[in-house]
Structure 1
């Protein structure tokens, strides 16, 4: 029950990030958020153990990719020359 609630929160958050104009993560960010939304959807509506383990793997990898993207973009933006 608790895990379904967590998956549902992840699904709603990732779907909001994909469809919101306020989130400016580019194409790769939208792809990663879409992967999170699809994996969370599969985890909520599936009863098979194989699907649950694969969904968990995809969620971990997609969230890690978003973290790496954030880190790289922060480094890139800190070394870029300011616009005049």
Structure 2
């Protein structure tokens, strides 16, 4: 299934967000009310202060792991019913 097919199915199922009587409009309204009043940024401890203006610069961190570790991680993913990506993130 392509993403475009999924979006068409979802629109058929949930309706149009512009229709106030649709399921999607009700869901959007629910989340607007639920999330209303939350701060833009949660204050969590960081190792450096947030910049006054976002630079949108990113960075890359490279690493390597052995073929044996890769094989073991794939086995773990398969046994867990997860993807290798999910195991690596966990």
Task: State the TM-score, normalizing by the size of structure 1.
Answer: 0.23
Bigger fraction of residues in helix: 1
The structure with more radius of gyration: 2
Highest RCO, 1 vs 2 (Cα 8 Å, sep ≥ 6):
1
